[in-house]
Structure formats: structure tokens, C-alpha cells
A and B are shown apart, each in its own frame.
Chain A
Amino acid sequence: MKTLTCDVLVIGCGPAGLAAAYEAKQHGAQHVLLLERNDELGGILQQCIHTGFGVREFGEDLSGPEYAWRWIDRVRDANLEVLSETMVLSVDRSRRVVATSKALGLIEILPRALVLAMGCRERPRGALAIPGSRPAGVYTAGTAQRLVNMEGYMPGERYVILGSGDIGMIMARRLTLEGAEVAAMCEILPYISGLRRNLVQCIRDFDIPLHLCTTVIDVRGRDRVESVVVSGVDERWRPVAGTEREIPCDTLLLSVGLIPENELTRMAGASIDPITGGPFVDEGYATDVPGIYAAGNVVHVYDLVDDVSEAARIAGRSAGRYVSQAPRESGDVVRLKAGANVRAVVPQSLHVSALEEGPVVLQFRVRQPVEAPVRAEVRLGDRVLVSRRYRYVRPAEMVALTLQPRIAGELGDASELTVHVLE
């Protein structure tokens, strides 16, 4: 088995891996190696042919492939080494990585620092407990997106979409434009789970019937989906008797959430936050295993690729510094905990010394939407250290709150800060 060494190894060449690798090189890593399972770089962006990417990163409204190629060119220009068609099989606490590579066969890589950038995967049907038989014609929205946008297949003619995530809404528009019929989009929650602009430009523009507080309770058909039965639900998501309705269709698409992809992170021994599904990280996106960092959607699922790139930059910078600077005393650590109407805070911990050097952005989602002005507060016990107003908060839209360096002086020997969203 061939053994490779490098300063920083990045697993995954989607937007997170590309940005992390590029930034690691800019911050002291001489030899950066990227691994990609697919035969081309860019990850899921290559199938996201719609626009809406890059407004913050490039100041332009780019398609997914355009955004991907801008970063691929940056990585090429920086002379980073890339091994595509290479899949990682294992990672351990000492950062020993074993992978299979089309070009090199079974290889072992011993990097001085490792950045995990595997992204996320779609929640599958099995995670939903939809009863019914197993006919052909049930796809996740992202699988259908790949078939339609890259491989040139239409999975069906008449669709029902379960869930109102962004990929589901974007596919509703895409399929309609390609001549298919989207008979219904059903969302179990009383509000959509994707961005509101997609409600306008993907659902309302195309007169697609959207049913809130509604779910699929049966999939009918033996060889191929023939219909689904939908039902209204109560506030505890239980089907309401008497509201069932059968909708003829040949295809059911699932757009019911994304899950950070952390099999390798677990193998490496990093602790996982049960709420986010990603590793616990500090302000530099370091996991709790020394020399292992996490970038982008493996940490928690972002709304916008621009934010993935930004977070991945921080992870890459940390990895670059880890291999190029003398280790230093990290000092006091403060935990960041979710308070009122907050699901989980990323990063989950903060070094006071890092906050003294520069602002730290906290990211979180609310549990419940509030369509009225709210304030987000960071508290030390009962004392409010930061308070910021927002015009509204919605679970579908990640909230960012910046801690300024001056806060560091007020932390004393605090061990925990809490983040709250209050009406």
C-alpha cells in the first residue's frame, strides 16, 4: 500500500473542501492535498443549475456550476494537489486516512492536519416511516435533480413532492418547465422549510398547489407508484381522520431535510453534537480531536453556499496555522449553549484568547418562527452581554450574531454563555 504525506489533507471537494484547501495554503500549509470521490470537483453544485449562488462571495448571481468552477479555478491556480475518484474508507484519531483511488489503488495518507468536508446527505424515505409498498417512482429531490439536470432522464410525468425544502421547491419549478405536472407539494409543518424567494419563484409562479400541515400517509402501486394518499395533520403531526385524499401520480419526491455526513468524523473519534448532527467545534472549526477540523455542511447544514465557503475558510485557516505555527496555550474555553427558542449554537465552544484577536460569528436556528421583531441575546448567567434586534426569525433561515472582541474582557472565569431569542 502506497503511503502519502502532506501538511493538510481535505476530504471532499465541494464548496467547503475547495475553500478550506485554498485558505489552508494561504495560511502556511505548503503541501495541501484534496480527495474527491467523484470524477469532477464541485460536489452538489454541479447539479444545482439554478442561480442564487455567489451574491456575497463574488457579488454576482451565479449558477451552481459557475460558482463551483470559480473555486475550482482558484484551487488550480494555487497549485493544490487533487486526487479525484478517490474514496476514503477510514480515518483514525492519529489522522491516518485509508482510501481507495482509481489512479493509485489502496493508499494510506498521513497528513499533519485534516479538514473534513464531506457535506451532507438527504434524509431518505426509510427515515420517514411512510407506509405502503415499495414501487418504483420514489426519489429524493436531489436524486431527481441529478437525473434531470446532469443525466438527461425525467423520472416521471406527474409528481407529488413531500416536504418544502429548497431542493424540492427548485425541482417543482424545474419539472414544470420540462413539461411535467407537479400535482401537489405537501409540508407537515405550518410553514415552508426552504427560502421564501423559492416559494415565490418556484411554487407560486407556477401555480403549484402547496398544502401545509399535510403529509403523505400511504404510497399506492405495486410495480410503479400509482397514487399517494395525503392527510391533514394536527399540531402534533398526527393524521386527522376524514382529511385523507388520494392524489394520482407516478412519482413521489422527498424533500424532507439534509443530514450532515459524519461517518468519517465518528471514525476519527470526534464528539458529535446530537442536535446539529455534526461535530462539536470551536471558533476555528476544530473538532475535539487535535489537528482535525470540520468545514461547511458537515458541521451543520447551511442555507447558502456563500456561508459554507465562509465557514470553510475559517476551518482551512485554522488547519494552515496548525501546521505552520508553534503550538500555543489555548487558555480558557467558554461553552455556547442554546437558550430560549434556539436549536443549537455553532461553534459550540469559544477560546477567550481567540475572541480577543477578532470577532467570532455565532450561527444558530430558531425552533419556532416569529413573524415580528425579536431580539437575540447572548447572556452570561442573567447578564446580557450582546443584544441584537431582528425583524423576524424563521427556522429555515440561519441567524448570525457577531461577538466582538471587547466582550472577552467581560467573560472573567465564565464557563458558559447562553443564546436566546426573545419576543
Chain B
Amino acid sequence: MSEQREFICVTCPVGCSIQAEVDGDVLIALQGQACQRGEAFVREELTAPRRMLTTTVRVTGGRLPLVPVRSNVPVPKALMFEIARALREVELTAPVADHETVLADALGSGVDIVTSRGMEAV
């Protein structure tokens, strides 16, 4: 039994409204996406949605007490809170390099969490 569902693609800032005909988690047809990433987004939303995760971790001895971190690719949406919680336990010591891995294979997701700027020591 198919139904119409609307998705707003979050892949880029355009935010296309995509009208999709779906049957459970199976995509039957869609329209409204400005590029092909829209279809990939809807397929993923139906089966295993993922989001980019950004947060901060503590750093001691740096110019700032925190350094921003990000997932190198989107993480499973269901794991966002758990990964954020795990990152609260991480503490780095300055200096910290940009794109340094702070949590490898976060909770077995296959995704690495990396710094998104460097932090010089003071």
C-alpha cells in the first residue's frame, strides 16, 4: 500500500522539498529534487537516516577551553546522542592539530570524529 510523503533534503542549504511515493521503506517515485543527491537522501531517510554530528570536546592548556569536532561523514541518526555523550568524556591537551581523530570508529559506527580546527597551546 503506497503513500505520499514529503521530505526536505538536508544534504545542502537549498533544502529541496521532495514529494515521494513510498511503500513502507521502499521508494516508488519522487519529484522535486534539484539534483541526484535528493534521491539518495530520501532512500537513506526511509531505511537508515544519517546526520552530520558536530559538537565540542574539552582541551586543556589551549587558547580556548574547547575545540570543535565533527564526524568525517554523517553518523547514524539513532547514535547521535550516544556519540555526543561519549565525546563528553574525551579530553585533549593542547596543542591540537586540525583534523586530528578524537574518537575513531565512534560506537562501532565506522565513523571517525575529528577536530574541525587546531588549538594552539598557551
Report the minimal beta-carbon distance from A42 to chain B, rounded to whole angstroms.
Answer: 9
Q: Are A51 and B70 in contact (CB under 8 A)?
A: yes
Q: Which of A60-68, A95-103, A157-165, A249-257 contacts B (4 or more CB under 8 A)?
A: A60-68
Question: 1/0 per residue A138-159: CB within 8 Å of B?
Answer: 0000000000111110000000
Q: Are B13 and A49 in contact (CB under 8 A)?
A: no
Question: 1/0 per residue B47-84: CB within 8 Å of A?
Answer: 00001101110100000111010100000010011001
Q: Are B116 and A197 in contact (CB under 8 A)?
A: no
Report the minimal beta-carbon distance from B22 to chain A, rounded to whole angstroms.
Answer: 17
Q: Given contacts A151-B65, A152-B65, A205-B77, are A65 and B116 in contact (CB under 8 A)? A: yes
Give A62's nearest chain B residue, CB to CB. Answer: B116
Residue B117 lies at the interface, judged by CB distance under 8 Å to chain A: yes
Q: Which of B13, B17, B66 contacts A304 (CB 8 A)?
A: B13
Q: Are A49 and B51 in contact (CB under 8 A)?
A: no
CB-CB contacts below 8 Å: A351-394 with B? 391-392
Residue B15 lies at the interface, judged by CB distance under 8 Å to chain A: yes
Residue A422 lies at the interface, judged by CB distance under 8 Å to chain B: no
Q: Which of A148, A149, A200, A392 contacts B10 (CB 8 A)?
A: A200
Residue B9 lies at the interface, judged by CB distance under 8 Å to chain A: yes
**Number of A-B residue pairs with CB-CB distance less than 8 Å in the complex they form:** 79
Q: Are B68 and A197 in contact (CB under 8 A)?
A: no
Q: Which of B13, B77, B118 contacts A197 (CB 8 A)?
A: B13
Report the minimal beta-carbon distance from A153 to chain B, rounded to whole angstroms.
Answer: 9
Give A149's nearest chain B residue, CB to CB. Answer: B56
Residue B8 lies at the interface, judged by CB distance under 8 Å to chain A: yes
CA separation between A10 and B58, bound complex, in Å? 34
Residue A410 lies at the interface, judged by CB distance under 8 Å to chain B: no
Q: Are B66 and A63 in contact (CB under 8 A)?
A: no
Q: Are B66 and A199 in contact (CB under 8 A)?
A: no
Q: Given contacts A63-B70, A66-B116, A197-B13, are A51 and B64 in contact (CB under 8 A)? A: no
Q: Given contacts A69-B117, A195-B15, A196-B15, are A63 and B54 in contact (CB under 8 A)? A: yes
Q: Which of A49, A68, A150, A303 contacts B54 (CB 8 A)?
A: A49
Question: 1/0 per residue B1-43: CB within 8 Å of A?
Answer: 0000000111011110100000000000000100000000000
Residue A335 lies at the interface, judged by CB distance under 8 Å to chain B: no
Residue A27 lies at the interface, judged by CB distance under 8 Å to chain B: no
Report the minimal beta-carbon distance from A23 to chain B, rounded to whole angstroms.
Answer: 23
Question: 1/0 per residue A187-218: CB within 8 Å of B?
Answer: 00000000111011100010000000000000
Question: 1/0 per residue B92-122: CB within 8 Å of A?
Answer: 0000001000000000000000001110000
Give B10's nearest chain A residue, CB to CB. Answer: A197
CB-CB contacts below 8 Å: A10-69 with B? 46, 49-52, 55, 61-63, 65-66, 68-69
Give A69's nearest chain B residue, CB to CB. Answer: B117
Q: Are B81 and A197 in contact (CB under 8 A)?
A: no
Report the minimal beta-carbon distance from A230 to chain B, rounded to whole angstroms.
Answer: 25
Give the interface size bracket for A toward B.
20 to 34
Q: Are B81 and A65 in contact (CB under 8 A)?
A: no
Q: Are B13 and A195 in contact (CB under 8 A)?
A: yes
CB-CB contacts below 8 Å: A52-95 with B? 52, 55, 61-63, 65-66, 68-69
Q: Are A177 and B55 in contact (CB under 8 A)?
A: yes
Give A396's nearest chain B residue, CB to CB. Answer: B15
Give B84's nearest chain A residue, CB to CB. Answer: A177
CA separation between A200 and B117, bound complex, in Å? 26
CA separation between A345 and B99, bound complex, in Å? 40
Q: Given contacts A69-B117, A196-B8, are A303 and B64 in contact (CB under 8 A)? A: no
CA separation between A378 and B88, bound complex, in Å? 54
Give B83's nearest chain A residue, CB to CB. Answer: A177
Please name all residues of chain B whose beta carbon is closer than 8 Å to the beta carbon of A151 when the two chains form the complex. Answer: 64-66
CA separation between A150 and B58, bound complex, in Å? 10
Please name all residues of chain A whose beta carbon is closer than 8 Å to the beta carbon of B65 when the two chains form the complex. Answer: 151-152
Chosen A-B contacts, 20 in total, with CB atoms closer than 8 Å, are A49-B55, A51-B54, A55-B13, A62-B116, A63-B68, A63-B116, A65-B68, A65-B117, A66-B98, A68-B117, A69-B117, A69-B118, A151-B64, A151-B66, A152-B56, A152-B58, A152-B65, A178-B84, A197-B8, A201-B10
The residues of B with any CB-CB pair to A shorter than 8 Å are 8-10, 12-15, 17, 32, 51-52, 54-56, 58, 64-66, 68, 70, 77, 80-81, 84, 98, 116-118
